[in-house]
Structure 1
Amino acid sequence: MNRLISAGLAGVLSMALALPAAAHTGHAGDAMFVQGLLHPLTGIDHLLAMVAVGVWAAQNGGRALWLLPAAFIAMLSAGAGIGMAGIELPAVEAGIAASVAVLGLLVLVNKRVPATAAALLVGAFAVLHGHAHGTEMPQTADPILYGLGFVLSTAILHGTGIALGLVRHIPRRRFATRALQRPE
């Protein structure tokens, strides 16, 4: 199963690398829903952190399965609002880099944490990711459409991570048995 997870992450990474790497350079022209949708996919840091939230939610299971993505999206939206309002936060880029490292490590070691504590951690990181999205929104963009785009994209990335995390829990024998059964 580790090969399957690695293959899934490699696929997500290759999709991200195929897009222009513009997550932290701003976007030209009218940026509406589609630009907001693409924004999290065009920065490897955003992509990895958001998929990691989903994988970690699946690893923790139970309430964390929905609480971590919900906390991330809520705080991402709050952070975006702060960024769109022009309010500066210290060390946003360093915090985003730390989110990739910390969340990646938590996934790697399969660290289980109480759901509320895990939600607080991902929420803190989400504020920083949201701030970056908000400050990088082009001036000509409609904030609502742009925001809806990156929130939807984030939810899809969380869902991808959850799927990757849950695939690990399928017993190999049961999967192989079902695949080899003849239809009646």
Structure 2
Amino acid sequence: MLHRRCIAFVVLFLAPVMALAHPHHGHHVHEHAGFAAGFLHPFTGLDHLLVLLGIGFWMARSQRIPGTLISGTAVLATLALAFALGMAQGPLPTVEFGILASLLLTGVLVFLGTRLPLVVTAAIAAGFAALHGFAHGAEMAADLSALRFAAGFLLASTLMLTAGTLAASRIRDTALERPVGQAAGGAMVAASVYLLLVV
């Protein structure tokens, strides 16, 4: 029974790996901008999916509910600010490597089940989110449609973060916590290596 539950959690957590995904953010999508496009866009990026799921999963293991809420708020606020900065600045090639590094490091944190003080947890999670927010914002033209896109993007990101948090909350302090965390973290590390090879 324990074995079956472990497999179920891993499959649910890693389902995005099987989704169609673009490996990088070099293209512009402003011609398709709008709330629906913004909502769907993060789901087409394997890196964004796994990082936000992983951050939510790691935060819920590292902190209790109040701390997780504080860290999650910091992540979403940073995503929004970085998105705006990306629109103003435009693409920066080095951000792509930062994104892959954030995926790799999130995978390591999930794998190890590292528990850190709240301030450190929030700072790390927000730092990773900043790279992703900037990359998606840099794809956009600075106009009214970009605001609608940003609203959809942030809603989708909130759902991803929440999904990772809920998954970890269900297994925290149970026999499933360690094996599921190791499987999920290992898959994230593998995904970061794969994306590095195809970027």
2:134 is the alignment partner of 1:131: yes
Query: Which digits, 9 at most, give the CA deviation of each residue in 1:62-115, with x for residues without a partner?
Result: 233112221111111111111111256572111100110101110111000111
The whole-number CA distance in structure 2 between the counterparts of 1:88 and 1:21 is 16
1:169 and 2:169 aligned: no
Deviation, 1:132, is: 0.6
Measured at CA, do residues 90 and 113 of structure 1 come closer, stay the same or move farther in structure 2, by a change above 3 Å?
farther
Alignment of 1:19-98 (within 5 A): 21=22, 24=25, 25-27=27-29, 29-62=31-64, 63-86=66-89, 91-98=94-101
- Aligned twin of 2:8: 4
In 1: Cα distance, 2:23 partner to 2:108 partner: 26
Query: Within the alignment, does 1:108 sit opposite 2:111 as a pair?
Result: yes
1:42 and 1:138, CA in 2 relative to 1: closer, same or farther beyond 3 A?
farther
**Runs of 5+ unmatched residues, structure 2:** 176-199
**Pairwise CA RMSD of aligned residues?**
2.3
Equivalent position amino acid for 1:49 in 2: V
Letter in 2 for 1:168: I
Q: Runs of 5+ in structure 1 lacking a partner?
A: 173-184
CA–CA distance in structure 2, aligned partners of residues 48 and 163 of structure 1: 15
Please report the TM-score for the alignment, with normalisation by the length of structure 1. 0.82
Residues 16 and 46 in structure 2, CA contact (< 8 A), matched pair in contact too: no
Assess, with a 3 A threshold, how the Cα gap between structure 1 residues 88 and 31 changes in structure 2: closer, same or farther. Answer: closer
The residue type equivalent to 2:34 in the other structure is M
Contact 1:57–1:66 (8 Å) recurs in 2 = no
Q: Is the 8 A contact 2:30 2:146 kept in 1?
A: no
Q: Which has the larger radius of gyration?
A: 1
How far residue 170 of structure 1 moved from its aligned partner, in angstroms, is 7.4
CA gap of 1:39–1:144, structure 2 versus 1, over 3 A, is same
CA distance in 1, matches of 2:142, 2:88: 12
AA aligned to 2:7 is R
Question: In the aligned structure 2, how far is the partner of 1:28 from the partner of 1:142?
Answer: 8
Letter in 2 for 1:111: T
- Whether 1:151 aligns to 2:154 is yes
2:32 is paired with a residue of what secondary structure? coil
Residue 111 of structure 1: SS of its match in structure 2? coil
CA deviation digits over 1:138-178, x for unaligned, max 9? 56761211111110000000011011111213757xxxxxx
TM superposition score normalised by structure 2? 0.76
Count of paired positions: 169
Q: Which moved more, 1:116-125 or 1:89-98?
A: 89-98
Identify the range of structure 1 (5-14 vs 121-130) with the bigger mean alpha-carbon deviation: 5-14
